Chain A
Amino acid sequence: MSAETLVQLLYLVATGLFILSLRWMSSPETARRGVFAGVGAMALAVAGTLAGVAAGGGTHYLWILLAFLVGTGVGYPLAMVPLTAVPQRTALSHAFGGLAAGLVGTAKFVLYYGQGNAAALAPYVVIALVAEILLGYLTFTGSLMAAGKLQEVHWIPQRPVTYPGQNMLNMGMMVVAVALGAALVGNPLAPWAPAAFLAVIVLSLVFGVMLILPIGGADMPTVISILNAYAGLSAVAMGFVLNNKLLITAGALDGSSGLILSIIMCKAMNRSFANVLFGAFGQAQPAVAGGEAKVYKADTPESAAQVLAQAELVVIVPGYGMAVAQAQHRVRELYDQLKKRGVAVKFAIHPVAGRMPGHMNVLLAEAEIPYDDLVEMDTINPDLPHADVALIIGANDVVNPAARTDKGSPIYGMPIIDADKARTVYAIKRSKNPGFAGIDNELYFLDKTFMLFGDAKAVVGELAKQLAGESGMH
C-alpha cells in the first residue's frame, strides 16, 4: 500500500467518524459519544496528514510541534470560560477558524506566485483561493467584532451603528473585491496580481467589520450562526485549493450546521437573512404621540412567593437578562422549592432567547435543571392557558404580544411564547427601560401582570428564600 493510499484511507475513516459525530448529537444521551468520535476523527486526520507529509519529505516538525503546543496552551483556558461567556468564546473561535483559512490561502498564493507556477494556479484553483480569502478574512474580523460586542468591550459600540448609504458602501466593497478576484482568475501571474490579492484581503478584513457594525445584541444568535457557516465554507474552499476531500467534507458539515441554525434563528424572529444583515434592527421607533401614560403594577417578592406557592403549574420564561445576572443557580433554588411543594415547573425556551442558539438550555443545564423540563416554544404554548403563573426572568421581546397584534412593531410576526395567556404574569426586570428592540412591552401593562423590579439574581433568590421560609413555618 502506498503512503498516499494509507493517507486517503485514514481520511476516509475520519470523514465517517465526523458524520457519526454529528448524528450522535441528535439526543443528549448519545451526544458525548459524538465528541469522542470527533476527537478520534481529528486525531486520524492529523496522523494521516503527518504521515503524508513525512512520505513527501516534509520538514519544520519542531516548529509544527511548537504551534500545536501554543495552540493547546491557548485553547485550554478558552474551554474553561464560564458558560455565560460561551457566545463570545464561540464567536472568537469562528474568528480563529476564519483566520486559519485566510492564512493558508495567502500562503498558497505567495508560494505559487513565487514559483511562477501557472499549472498550480489553474482558474478553478484561483476561484477557490479567492473564495477562501474572502470568506476567511471577513469571518475573522466579523467574528472578532461579534465577540467584542458580546463581551461588551467598551470601545466597540453595543448599539447598532448605522449611517446613510451603509448598505451601498458595504455592497460596493464586496463588488470591488469580487471584481479583483475575477481579474486574478484570468491573470494569476500578472505583475499586478500580488497588489490585487492584497487589496482583496484588505477589503474583506474591512468588510467583516462593517458587516457587524449595524447589528445589535438581539440579532447575535443569527449572526453567530451565519459566521459559523462562513467559517465552514472557508474550510471547504481550502479543500478545493489543496485538492483535499477531507477538508471539503468536514467544512461542508460545519457549513450546513451554520446554515440550518441561521434558518432556525431567522424563522424564530420572522425575518429573512437579508433583513438581519442589512436591516439594522433595534433603531429607536418613532414615539407614539398622545398615548396615555401607562403604569406598571410593581409587586414585592413576598406576595409573589405566596402566589407561586398556591400555583399548580408555573412556567418560567428565561431570557438574556437571566444570563447577564448569572441567575441560573438561584433559578434552580426556586425550582427546587416549588417542586418540594408539589408545584409543576416548566421552562419555556424561545429559540432566540439569549445570545446564541441554545444559550438558555446550557445555562439551565449548568444549574442542574433536568432537561426534560426545558420545553421548546411550540410545545409549551398550548400549556400556557392552563398555567397559573408565567414567571418571566429577563426576557422581553420573546413574550411581547405586540408581535401578534401590532403591524407597526419591528417584531410583528415573530413567534412568541404566550406568557400573556397564563392566569397571572410576574416579570422580573432590571429597570423600567424598554427591551432591546426599544419598544414597550404591552404584556407588562396587562391587568394580570405584576412587575418585580431588580437584579434577576437577587429577586429570584429572594423568591426562593420566601418559599423556603414559608415552608419552614408550616
Chain B
Amino acid sequence: MTDFSGFAIALIQASGDHGAGGHGQVDFMGALFVFMLATFIGLMAIQRVSRLLHTPLMSLTNAISAIAVVGSIIVSADKDAPVVVTALGLVAIFCSVTNIVSGFLITDRMLKMFKKREGAGK
C-alpha cells in the first residue's frame, strides 16, 4: 500500500499546480510526473491481476480508457468553436460512450460467470 500513498501525495502536489492555468511549463512538468507515477501504479496493479481474468481485464481497461469522453465533452461544449470542431467532438463522445457502455457491461457479464467449485467454500 505504501506505493499508493506516495502516488497520492504526488498527485495532489501536481494537481495543485493546476490553479496556475494556461499552458505553462510548470503544468507540463506536473503532467509528466503524473504520467510516470500513474504508469508505475498501473504496472504494479496489473501484474497482480489473475491470469484467469485477462479477458475481462482488457474489456475493463477498454472502458477506463474511454475516459477520452472527458476531452470529447470539453471540445464539444466549447461555445466559440466552429461547427466542424463541435461535430468532431460529438463523434468522439459517441465513440467513447459506446466503449464505456459496452466495456463495463461485458466485463460484468463475463465476471459473473467465474464460479468456484461447489463446496469449495465462498
Cβ contact within 8 Å between A235 and B104: no
Q: Is A231 positioned at the interface, with any CB of B under 8 Å from its CB? A: yes
Closest A residue to B40 using CB positions: A256
Known A-B contacts A35-B108, A63-B90, A358-B56; the reply to A45 vs B113 at CB < 8 A is no
Cβ contact within 8 Å between A28 and B50: yes
**Out of A15, A78, A81, A366, which one reaches B98, CB within 8 Å?**
A78
Number of interface residues of A (CB under 8 A): 123
**Out of B28, B43, B96, B102, which one reaches A124, CB within 8 Å?**
B28
**Out of A64, A83, A260, A368, which one reaches B110, CB within 8 Å?**
A83
Known A-B contacts A71-B101, A79-B101; the reply to A362 vs B55 at CB < 8 A is yes
**Out of B23, B42, B60, which one reaches A38, CB within 8 Å?**
B60
Known A-B contacts A28-B52, A93-B62, A106-B88; the reply to A79 vs B35 at CB < 8 A is no
The total number of A-B Cβ pairs within 8 Å is 395
> How many Å lie between the Cα of A239 and that of B59 in the bound state?
21
Stretch at the interface among A240-248, A273-281, A431-439: A240-248
Cβ contact within 8 Å between B56 and A71: no
> How many Å lie between the Cα of A248 and that of B65 in the bound state?
10
Cβ contact within 8 Å between B67 and A356: no
How far in angstroms is the closest Cβ of chain B from A289? 42
| Interface positions of A from 5 to 19, Cβ below 8 Å from B | 8, 11-12, 15-16, 18-19
> How many Å lie between the Cα of A63 and that of B6 in the bound state?
41
Number of interface residues of B (CB under 8 A): 94
> How many Å lie between the Cα of A360 and that of B76 in the bound state?
41
Closest B residue to A370 using CB positions: B117
Could you say which residues of chain A place their CB within 8 Å of the CB of B30? 245
> How many Å lie between the Cα of A370 and that of B103 in the bound state?
24
Cβ contact within 8 Å between A104 and B89: yes
Cβ contact within 8 Å between B23 and A125: yes
Q: Is A94 positioned at the interface, with any CB of B under 8 Å from its CB? A: yes
Chain A residues touching B, majority SS: helix
Known A-B contacts A60-B76, A253-B45, A356-B55; the reply to A107 vs B92 at CB < 8 A is yes
Chain A 62-94 per-residue mask, 1 if CB under 8 angstroms from chain B, else 0? 011011101110111011110100100110011
Cβ contact within 8 Å between A245 and B34: yes
| Interface positions of A from 228 to 261, Cβ below 8 Å from B | 228, 231-232, 234-236, 238-261
Known A-B contacts A31-B53, A71-B101, A96-B96; the reply to A356 vs B58 at CB < 8 A is yes
Could you say which residues of chain A place their CB within 8 Å of the CB of B31? 239-240, 243, 245, 248
Could you say which residues of chain A place their CB within 8 Å of the CB of B94? 67, 70-71, 74
Cβ contact within 8 Å between B73 and A49: yes
Closest A residue to B101 using CB positions: A75
Cβ contact within 8 Å between B77 and A59: yes
Q: Is A365 positioned at the interface, with any CB of B under 8 Å from its CB? A: yes
Q: Is A380 positioned at the interface, with any CB of B under 8 Å from its CB? A: no
Cβ contact within 8 Å between B52 and A374: yes
**Out of A57, A67, A108, A242, which one reaches B90, CB within 8 Å?**
A67
**Out of B63, B64, B109, B117, which one reaches A372, CB within 8 Å?**
B117
> How many Å lie between the Cα of A104 and that of B92 in the bound state?
7
Cβ contact within 8 Å between B60 and A21: yes
How far in angstroms is the closest Cβ of chain A from B50? 6
Cβ contact within 8 Å between A61 and B58: no
Closest B residue to A69 using CB positions: B97
Cβ contact within 8 Å between B11 and A12: yes
How far in angstroms is the closest Cβ of chain B from A150? 13
Closest A residue to B48 using CB positions: A26
Cβ contact within 8 Å between A232 and B15: no
Q: Is B9 positioned at the interface, with any CB of A under 8 Å from its CB? A: no
Q: Is A27 positioned at the interface, with any CB of B under 8 Å from its CB? A: yes
Closest B residue to A253 using CB positions: B42
**Out of A53, A245, A349, A362, which one reaches B11, CB within 8 Å?**
A245
| Interface positions of B from 67 to 82, Cβ below 8 Å from A | 67-79, 81-82
Closest B residue to A240 using CB positions: B31
Could you say which residues of chain B place their CB within 8 Å of the CB of A78? 98, 101-102, 106
Could you say which residues of chain A place their CB within 8 Å of the CB of B72? 100, 103-104
> How many Å lie between the Cα of A38 and that of B106 in the bound state?
13
**Out of A18, A53, A108, A351, which one reaches B77, CB within 8 Å?**
A53
Please list the residues of chain A having a beta carbon within 8 angstroms of any beta carbon in chain B: 4, 8, 11-12, 15-16, 18-19, 21-23, 25-28, 31-32, 34-35, 38-39, 41-42, 45-46, 49-50, 52-53, 57-61, 63-64, 66-68, 70-72, 74-76, 78-81, 83, 86, 89-90, 93-94, 96-97, 99-101, 103-104, 106-108, 110-111, 114, 119-120, 122, 124-125, 224-225, 228, 231-232, 234-236, 238-261, 264, 349, 351, 356-359, 361-362, 365-366, 368, 370-374, 376
Listed A/B pairs (21) with beta-carbon separation below 8 Å: A16-B8, A19-B45, A22-B45, A23-B48, A46-B73, A68-B93, A71-B95, A71-B100, A75-B105, A76-B101, A97-B96, A100-B72, A104-B75, A104-B89, A111-B78, A122-B23, A245-B11, A254-B61, A255-B39, A257-B58, A371-B114
- Given A49-B70, A253-B42, 15 other A-B residues pairs in contact with their CB atoms under 8 A: A19-B4, A19-B45, A32-B112, A46-B73, A79-B104, A79-B106, A93-B62, A97-B65, A100-B69, A111-B85, A245-B18, A247-B71, A254-B64, A257-B57, A372-B116
Pairs of residues from A and B, 4 with the lowest C-beta to C-beta distance, nearest first: A71-B97, A75-B101, A256-B42, A358-B54
